[in-house]
Amino acid sequence: MISQSKDGEIVAKMALRNGWNAVRGSSSKGGMKALKKMITHLKENKLAAHIVDGPNGPSGIVKPGIIHLAHATNAVIVPFSVSADKAWYFNSWDKFLLPKPFSKVILRFGDMIKFDSVKDREIFEKQRMRLEEIMLPSLKV
């Protein structure tokens, strides 16, 4: 799921060029419709990616959509982050990164995380906070 922002448009175009089906939406615009598409897509294709701190931040705060997606599809979450040795950083809340041509780009993958589907809001929030804790070192810019 990629936001409908200008930054998101760049990411969506790169995703499409690399064989990903970009679902556009976010917590602030078109989120429920996009989440439903993501659930269908994940059930069919067994693979999805989701930018977890949303289109407006704050940086490092994991939004609940990724947990809802995992619950709805019984999927594991594999945290990953991207860095580059040479990049342009946008003047935005998340310091959006665009690797410069010929730069070394590194994808870091974490361990699989399995969250049991829950109805209790407190347990759900603990799951969200646990994912945030795991991802925080790569979410903070």
* 29-71 confidence digits (pLDDT tens): 777 888 898 899 899 988 887 777 666 777 778 888 889 999 9
Which residue spans within the chain are E strands per DSSP? 80-84, 87-89, 97-99, 105-109
pTM equals 0.79
Cα–chain center distance at 78: 10
* HSE value, Cβ hemisphere, 13 Å, CA-based, for 108: 10
Q: What is the pLDDT of residue 104?
A: 97
- For residue 130, what pLDDT band results from cuts at 50, 70 and 90? very high
Q: 5-9, 102-106, 116-120: which has the minimum mean pLDDT?
A: 5-9
116 Cβ neighbours under 8 A, 6+ residues apart: none
Contacts of range 13-16, beta carbons closer than 8 Å, 24 or more positions apart: 15/49
Q: 22-31, 79-88, 91-100: which has the minimum mean pLDDT?
A: 22-31
Give the residue from 67, 79, 75, 69 showing the smallest Cα distance to 121.
67
Average pLDDT for 102-119 = 94
In total, the chain counts a number of residues equal to 141
Average pLDDT for 1-21 = 82
Q: CA quadruple 114, 83, 137, 129: dihedral positive or negative?
A: negative
Query: Look-up: residue for tokens 């931040």?
Result: 57
